[in-house]
Amino acid sequence: MTDRVFDIGVIGAGPAGLAAATAAASVGLSVVLIDAGSQPGGQYWRHPDEQQVGETDHAGHHDWTTFTTMRSALHTAMEAGHITYLPDTQLWLIDPVKEATARRTLRLTNSYTAGPEQHIARRPTEVTVDQLILCPGGYDRQLPVPGWDLPGVMAAGGVQALLKGSRTVAGRRAIIAGTGPFLLPVAVGLAEAGAEVVSICEAGAIRNWLPHVAAAAQVPSKGLEGAQYAALMAKHRIPYRSRTIIRAIHGETSVEAVTTCKVDSSGTPIAGTERRYEVDVVGLGWGFTPSLELPVMVGAQTRRDVDGSLVAVVDDQQRSGIPGVYIAGEATGVGGASMAVAEGKLAALTAAADSGRPISPRDVSRLQHKIKRFRGFAVAMHTAHPVPEAWTGWLEPETVVCRCEEVNYGDLCTAHEELQADDARTLKLVARPGMGWCQGRVCGYAIAGIAASLCGREPSEEDLRSQGKRTLASPVALSDLAALNNEIHL
Ligand SMILES: Cc1cc2nc3c(=O)[nH]c(=O)nc-3n(C[C@H](O)[C@H](O)[C@H](O)COP(=O)(O)OP(=O)(O)OC[C@H]3O[C@@H](n4cnc5c(N)ncnc54)[C@H](O)[C@@H]3O)c2cc1C
């Protein structure tokens, strides 16, 4: 417990949260920075444990200087007492506001990264803040495919997280499939670490970028990054096959092989184009999807973004519309680390201005201009790499969709046909997908898509929101719930 009230609570120490916390401290606000990870950096700057390998190991990271500059600013602000940094700490509940203020109590617990010492010497179980900047990031978006529940099939981000976080290579012979530029660093990272990558299967087509050349040219650094990956793919002889998907994954006790096939522009498989590859690891990535449990918990509005994921709605200064709550980074729309940094800084400046601190209007418009450029690039990327509309046609009745509750596609079809489940929420209620340990984080996007396709319509915001609403932001011990002491009605 702590009695201290902070001006701002920043959730997440990824690109957006680090930028927000350091910017807020630099204009004189007291900040508590809460992050489930053990060290700052989030997904983008995930790196091996500094206590073990020191500072130098940042192979495969881009914009590393941006990170080290913000990390130095964090350390300086911590020493000066302007930022209280709580790593290994999960925010699991945000209490409703008290009376007419925007003051909120944040309920904390040790995150899964906390070691046994941290579990004994527990951190504060709650902190109180006057304003809140939510930067919870996102995670890999997944689509089920026959055999994807075999050991050896991983999210592409999981394959990369092993490499970035502990230099662990997920397998010896890999195939990477899905859509979007993120497939490239994953494949190249594996090859650089000594694995053989037999193919990148991209469901889209390179020519999809043609109508978006102008938007892409607004962010030249991305083009340069793409060229670097292309050179490394040539060096490691990694074939790049567009309009290609993994149709099925085979194996007895773990992955042994995959069947790929060509698809048309809607994602419908083209008969006779099947190919088989022997592999021991499969990385699947269909873009990212924001973590929205905290924005939804405080009542923030959401919308379906151009990539089909649910995102939090903010104004052009990162205000969520809920007094005292600002949102930045991946949660407002998937757009990459540089945009997340700019949004984090802007959120801090807006929060400072809203609490009566002087800020520079020039800084605000500079950041807004930057965000607009990055957003333009993100829209181009999402439009060029859509999730194929016909993807549910790849499923067999026995394909597992919800791995936690072992609900397969046939169960969902039955729930629709016999119990009139016409939306994602009703499917969840009657067939239990998304009710297990991960609470729909892995299958939620797919359930929304399946519900829509069974009814012959587009997925709606409500289909997605019903999968993203969670009373608690993470699993907690019963003792944490008991400590609420009847103060809160969940
Ligand atoms: C697995 C993965 C790999 C990626 N790899 C690349 C890449 O190679 N190249 C690239 O350009 N982009 C990559 N991206 C995208 C890039 O990481 C993001 O654009 C960027 O990190 C967004 O920054 P952020 O601050 O919004 O979120 P994040 O970096 O995701 O940071 C969010 C932070 O919030 C914390 N958090 C969330 N909820 C809570 C809570 N309730 N309590 C406490 N802490 C919480 C998380 O632990 C995390 O540290 C990747 C994304 C993912 C998910």
How confident is the model over 130-169, as pLDDT tens digits? 999 999 999 999 999 999 999 999 999 999 999 988 889 9
Nearest alpha carbon, ligand 1 atom 17: 44
Region 51-57 average pLDDT = 65
- Per-residue model confidence (pLDDT) at position 218: 85
pLDDT per position as a tens digit, 8-22 = 999 999 999 999 999
What is residue 102's predicted lDDT score, i.e. its pLDDT?
81
- Mean pLDDT, rounded, of the chain: 92
Distance, CA 91 to ligand 1 centroid (Å)? 16
Q: Taking residues 100-111, what's their average pLDDT?
A: 88
Does the pLDDT value for residue 489 go beyond 60? no
In this predicted structure, what is the pLDDT of residue 479?
A: 83
Least confident residue range of 109-123, 148-162, 171-185? 109-123
Which tokens belong to 35?
């992050």
The β-bridge relationship of strands 400-402 and 407-408 is antiparallel
Instruction: Looking at the CA of residue 335, tell me the nearest atom of ligand 1.
Output: 19
The residues, ordered by sequence, that sit 6+ positions from 235 with a Cβ below 8 Å of its Cβ are: none
230 vs 59, higher pLDDT: 230
Cα separation, 135 vs 348, whole angstroms? 11
Segments in 155-219 forming alpha helices (H): 156-166, 183-192, 213-217
CA of 444 to the centre of ligand 1 (A): 19
Q: Whose CA is nearest to atom 16 of ligand 1?
A: 44
258, β-bridge pairs? 249, 277
User: Which residue puts its alpha carbon closest to atom 11 of ligand 1?
Assistant: 336
Ligand 1 centroid to 222 CA: how many Å?
18
Mean pLDDT of 208-233: 89
Give the pLDDT mean for 258-262.
98
Q: How many CA within 13 A on the CB side of residue 270?
A: 12
Q: Which residue's alpha carbon is at the smallest distance from atom 53 of ligand 1?
A: 139
Q: pTM for the complete prediction?
A: 0.94
Examine domains 2-139+289-359 and 395-468 and report if their fold is the same. no
Query: What value does the mean pLDDT take over residues 336-360?
Result: 96
Lowest mean pLDDT among 112-126, 151-165, 257-271, 438-452: 112-126
Which of 43, 132, 232 should be mutated for ligand 1, with most atoms under 8 A from CB? 43
Q: Where are the domains of the chain?
A: 2-139+289-359, 142-286, 395-468
Does residue 471 have a pLDDT over 80?
Answer: yes
Structure confidence at residue 1 (pLDDT): 47
Please state, in angstroms and rounded to a whole number, the distance separating the CA atoms of residues 353 and 474. 32
Q: What is the pLDDT of residue 469?
A: 82
pLDDT tens figures, 181-216: 999 999 999 999 999 999 999 999 989 998 888 888
In this structure, the residue with its CA closest to atom 47 of ligand 1 is: 36
Ligand 1 binding pocket, CB closer than 6 Å: 11-17, 34-37, 42-44, 90-91, 135-140, 157, 160-161, 182, 185, 288, 291, 294, 329-330, 336-337, 340, 473-474
The confidence score (pLDDT) of residue 63 equals: 85
Q: Which residue has the least CA distance to atom 6 on ligand 1?
A: 44
> Separation of 331 CA from ligand 1 center, angstroms?
10
Residue nearest (by alpha carbon) to ligand 1 atom 1: 157
* Residue 66, pLDDT score: 92
Question: What whole-number distance in Å separates Cα of residue 233 and Cα of residue 179?
Answer: 17
Q: Return the amino acid letter for 2.
A: T
DSSP 19-47: HHHHHHHHTT--EEEE-SSSSTTTTTT--
Confidence check: pLDDT of 62 > 80: no
pLDDT of residue 298: 95
Per-residue b or e along 294-322, where b marks 16 or more CB atoms closer than 10 Å to that residue's CB? bbbbbebebebbbbbbbbbebeebbbbeb
Phi-psi category of 19—alpha, beta or left, where left has phi over 0 and alpha has psi -120 to 50?
alpha
The CA 37 to ligand 1 mean position distance, Å, reads: 10
CATH for 2-139+289-359, among 3.50.50.60, 3.30.200.20, 2.40.50.140, 3.90.1150.200?
3.50.50.60
Distance 98 CA to ligand 1 centre (A): 31
pLDDT value of residue 140: 95
CA of 82 to the centre of ligand 1 (A): 24
CATH of domain 142-286: 3.50.50.60
Q: How far apart are CA 281 and CA 177, in angstroms?
A: 11
Ligand 1 atom at minimum distance from 91 CA: 42
8 Å CB contact between 131 and 275: no
Taking residues 32-53, what's their average pLDDT?
87
276-288 average pLDDT score: 97
Per-residue CA distances from 343 to 37, 121, 325, 432, 454 (Å): 21, 34, 14, 37, 38
For ligand 1, atom 37: residue with the closest CA? 136
Give the mean pLDDT of 248-268.
97
| 9: number of Cβ within 10 Å | 26
Give the Å distances, CA to CA, from 411 to 2, 231, 416.
48, 45, 9
- CA–centroid distance, residue 46 to ligand 1 (Å): 9
pLDDT of residue 3: 58
Counting from 1 in the atom list of ligand 1, the atom nearest the Cα of 225 is 11
Atom of ligand 1 at shortest distance to CA of 43?
29
- Helix and strand element counts for the chain (H, E): 16, 21
Output the residue whose Cα is nearest ligand 1's atom 41: 91
Q: Could you say which DSSP state residue 486 is in?
A: T
DSSP states along 127-146: EEEEEEEE---EEE-----T
pLDDT at 172: 96
pLDDT in tens, 65-98: 999 999 999 999 999 999 999 999 999 999 988 7
Q: What residue owns the CA closest to ligand 1's atom 23? A: 15
Q: Which fold has domain 395-468?
A: Arc Repressor Mutant, subunit A (1.10.10)
Protein residue closest via CA to atom 21 of ligand 1: 44
CA 17 to ligand 1 centroid distance, Å: 10
How far is 125 from 2, CA to CA, in rounded Å?
A: 8
* CA of 246 relative to ligand 1 center, distance in Å: 26
pLDDT above 80: residue 54: no
